[in-house]
A and B are shown apart, each in its own frame.
Chain A
Amino acid sequence: MALPIERDPSAGVEDPLDHALEAIRHGDGSQLDLLLESEEPGGPRLGELFQDLFSSQTRLFVGLESQSRVADYQICREIGRGGMGVVYEAEQLEPRRRVALKVLPGLYADEFHLKLFRREIQILARLKHAAIATIYEAGQTPEGQHFFTMELARGVPLNEYVREREMPLPERLTLFLKIGQAVNYAHQHGVIHCDLKPSNIIIDADGNPKILDFGLARLTDADVVITTVISETGKIMGTLPYMSPEQTRGNPAEIDLRSDTYSLGVVLYELLTERLPYDLNRAAVPEAIRIICEETPRRPSIFRRALLGDLETITLKALEKEPSRRYQSALALTEDLERYLTHQPILARPPRTMYQFRKLVARHKVVFVSLAFVLAALLVFIATMRIQLSATARQRDLAVTAEQDKDQIMAFILDDMLAAANPSQAHGSNVTVRQVLDEASLRLKSRFADQPQIEAAFRETIGSSYRSLELYDDAEPHLRAALALRKQFATDEPARFATALRSLAHLLRDMGDCAEAEPLYLQALSIRRELWGDNHPDIAESLTDLANLKYSEREYKKAESLFRQALELRRSLPGDQRCDVADSLFDLAQLQHTIYQYQAARSSYNQALAIYRQVGDQPLREADIMNCLANLFRPMVDLAAAEQMHRDVLKLRRLHLGDKHLDVSESLMNLAVVLREMRTYEEVEGLYLEALEIYRDLLGGEHRDVGGALIGLGSSLSERGRPEIGEPRLREGLAIWRKTPPQENWLYAEAESLLGECLTHLERYEEAQPLVLRGYLAVKEAKGEQHRRTGMALDRIIQLYEAWERPDQAAEYRALRPPAKFLEQPSP
């Protein structure tokens, strides 16, 4: 590209830098390179790169002008523009006729879009049907512009046509049948449209439909290349309100003819009600996808009473979430509609109660998954209670039989606990695990007033569930009550009493009341010793409890000794103790990691990992160990190993837990941190955003982990030169942390110092100053002067004063940097 600006004689170019800049604009970047090289030898040749940049052809597509020519076609006007190309009305010169001409803009002419474009041509060439536009010609201009021409469809989009004419219901259905038949024709020729919607269906003056835009269509036969293209990108392509749940998930393997049947269902719904099945107006994309995948469509009869009955059943069957429950083809759908129109019995049936219950579970997957461990514990409990209560019934001659007890327990679980998850009850659809537990807590006492053992078991389960949600105040009364109930039967059931002691002790430890927890753990240990002697797995478990307690109290030496005792005991026990031994090694490794014994920690992690790999059926435990090991590689300055291992962990967790799990978000955050340290930012924001979405979905918008992800995202943006976008995220994260502080106070101050760094980039130095100073002091106090994070906080001060052009203050803080490299090591 020739430079459009000629040298300006009045500029008085004297300085070599000005001269070099001027030279770039005249196609010579070498002068700038010489100049920069003389200042600082080595480095890329910037001048030449600028020169190349300016001389490259910026062939950005700006559209075709009216009257311009593409091959033998003269452009008349643009009639449509979308992600897959621009469509013009054009005049063909020979034979003379009006056509629709679609071009692929240069901007999109990459391999992926070209494949889609070529496939559309291939698909249209297969289809010859009155309701599908016929392709005429495909080609490429000498300038390289890809295009094809097809029959020009004249008419109005389906919904507009129906609305304008106020068509009665039977006519609408007849029109829909024609559309369904055309889709069925495409299906029979191995083509899935994938983007059926009213705006892609044009109705001509005679009332005949024409289906357009096969730009996203797929071939059902061996279209391996294209399948790969789509799966590689993982993109969701199509128009959201008309997309089937499997399309919104973006997995091409799930998409088949039934996806079109779903879209036809939405078109039918809209044709009948002039509304969409879901109100997606205000929903952001992830929320809209959730609604499509999880929520039940609004019944068409809500909008139009006349639809109640068969028409509603047909429409809702087409909109089933599971493809297997849907009409299996467009043909099946149109046939059932024909049956309706000819007053024959339709094949579709309304969903049954059991299926609705399964859908309830699916809709509240998070609740039910979170409750799974509660339920699992209860079911084990029921099995043991059956045996136990049979014996008790005989011994104490109780009136109720064991079977009745079991029924009572089941009824309590199903009627009282899970009832809270039913959206038809007062809670609505946003039920949480907490609500289920609260509901159970309220009803528990009255249900089992005269059955203390069952009540104790439920209280232990509910209390432990609250504890796992960090709702300690709610957990405490349950666990204390359970202990009191168990105490009544301590002589008969010492092992259960010991378990109740441990459950309460775990809670107290988590609440920071180690002094009260310790005697409970010791009592449990003593009971177990009396029961089993010194060599029993339960003794190792109790020793581990005590070790964890000491770890919480930062009495690392005592903790280490207890972990080692547990480890040795487990090693000495008969039978296959490999997993328990591995767990002890993992505990020990984490302790060593904490006290900076990195080599020892690495060895212990590896031993634990080797055992789990040998056992082979606990991939998630392996992932936990690998996660810690990867975190260990960071301070050991082996970032490449850390990155690889975090990627492996993420893969394992996704595979076994699905994409929406807190462990997955932990891995996403860890990987983001490593990549930032490596200064390879390509994926970082995507990782933070995905973690953020998981935290928000699973923990709610105000959880501290949401704050943490926002702070990570904001500081990363700021680091990458987008402080103006980073700042609001950092502030949002800090606002959450003010309400729900992080586990350690200094983290908040450190996050403020990150905001200070961001403000430095924005040149708002006065605002930045107190933040970076406060952050440094807090981190220094918590982690010690030599710690790497203290060093990073100090660097933020130095950076501020340098940018502020206050060299003296910068030097003052620079002098505080220790001569040796900052290390991860304990504060004095």
Chain B
Amino acid sequence: MTDEMVRAAAEGAEPERTRVLEALEPWVRLMVIARLGPPVAQIDGLKEVTQEVMVALTPGITRLENQTARGLRAFTSQIVRHKVSDLLSRQQKGVADGRPIRSLDSTVCRPSGAHPLWQLLSASGTSPGSAAARAEQIARLMAELGQLKPRYREVITLAVFDALPMAEIAREMGLAQPATARQLLKRALLTLRRKMQDEGESKMR
């Protein structure tokens, strides 16, 4: 996706808009997954939010101020955050009303379960055995991401999944400097890596 494509889509060129939105959808889905946690029980939430984001993006793209790929990225990230937050509030309200919520997160740490979602996320291009092992690792990655403290999870999501630049991440997270965001991200990634290693070792035991 180039700046030119985004500009054309923003100016109302239908083929470009379709192409841009089609290319964005899988990414939106990943951005949502990163926020909801491994969504075995959140599949409905995932579908719901992805759909809401795409619905918002369809007319929204014509109102894009910064008509570049970077601008669209930031814009999409904002919408995703908004919609996920709405979903979580709705689920929280469900808890307050005494209704059970399906997410709970009882599924957060079920990396080894061969749930279809993980099959859908499985790596391609390798032998079935190694693809399965890779899928298992990816599932663990997402499970551990879901267990990080909120600030760590947020910085990784913004930097890796939303692909926002450090200055924007710092602004979003209320940090004084992009360098602080970078430090925070580094700590978060190292923590994630350690957790994955611990988890792997405990499984070995």
Contacts and interface: CB of A to CB of B under 8 A. Distances in A.
Contact of B138 (A11, A56, A113, A640): A56
A49 B120 contact: no
Contacts of B196: 43-44, 46
Interface in A714-762: 717, 720-725, 728, 761-762
A205 interface: no
B104 A60 contact: no
A52 B165 contact: no
Interface in A634-663: 640
Interface string B152-164: 0100000110010
A18 B186 CA distance: 11
B197 interface: yes
Contacts of A5: 1, 27, 69, 73, 163
A49 B165 contact: no
Given A49-B138, A56-B123, A58-B120, A725 B95 contact: yes
Contacts of B105: 685, 717, 720, 722, 725
Interface string A692-729: 00000000000000000000000001001111110010
Contacts of B138: 49, 52-53, 56
A401 interface: no
Interface residues of B, number: 74
B193 A40 contact: yes
Contact of A6 (B69, B104, B198, B202): B69
A722 B41 CA distance: 15
Given A18-B166, A18-B182, A11 B141 contact: no
Interface string A658-698: 00000000000000000000111110011001000000000
A107 B43 contact: yes
A109 interface: yes
Interface stretch (B10-18, B55-63, B143-151): B143-151
Contacts of B69: 5-6, 8
Contacts of B109: 680-682, 720
Interface string A4-25: 1110101100010110010011
Contacts of A44: 137, 141, 193, 196-197, 200
B106 A686 contact: yes
B140 to A, nearest CB: 8
Interface string A31-44: 01000100110111
Interface in B55-104: 68-70, 73, 88, 92, 95-96, 100, 104
A50 interface: yes
Interface in B150-205: 150-151, 153, 159-160, 163, 165-166, 182, 185-186, 189-190, 192-194, 196-200, 202, 205
Contacts of B2: 6
B194 A6 contact: no
Contacts, number: 168
Interface residues on chain A, size class = 35 or more
Given A39-B190, A43-B196, A53-B141, A803 B123 contact: no
A55 interface: yes
A59 B120 contact: yes
B27 A720 contact: no
Given A18-B165, A44-B196, A49-B137, A724 B92 contact: yes
A110 interface: yes
Contacts of A640: 205
A110 B27 CA distance: 24
Contact of B121 (A18, A40, A53, A689): A53
Nearest to B183: A17
A803 B193 CA distance: 19
Contacts of A532: none
Interface string A801-822: 0010000000000000000000
Nearest to B72: A5
Nearest to B182: A17
B146 A721 contact: yes
Nearest to A686: B106
Contact of A679 (B119, B148, B198): B198
A640 B159 CA distance: 38
B30 A54 contact: yes
Contact of A107 (B120, B141, B142, B185): B120
A32 B116 CA distance: 29
A108 B119 CA distance: 10
A32 B192 CA distance: 13
A720 B37 CA distance: 11
A679 B204 CA distance: 13
Contacts of A58: 26, 29-30, 120-121
A814 B14 CA distance: 62
A4 B24 contact: yes
Interface string A56-80: 1111101000000000000000000
Pairs A-B, 4 closest by C-beta atoms: A721-B147, A4-B23, A52-B123, A681-B109
Interface of B: 1-3, 20, 23-24, 26-27, 29-30, 37, 43, 46-47, 68-70, 73, 88, 92, 95-96, 100, 104-106, 108-110, 112-117, 119-125, 134, 137-138, 141-142, 146-151, 153, 159-160, 163, 165-166, 182, 185-186, 189-190, 192-194, 196-200, 202, 205
22 contacts: A1-B26, A8-B70, A11-B70, A32-B189, A36-B189, A43-B194, A44-B141, A44-B193, A44-B200, A50-B141, A58-B29, A60-B120, A285-B100, A680-B109, A681-B108, A685-B105, A686-B106, A722-B37, A724-B88, A725-B95, A761-B149, A803-B149
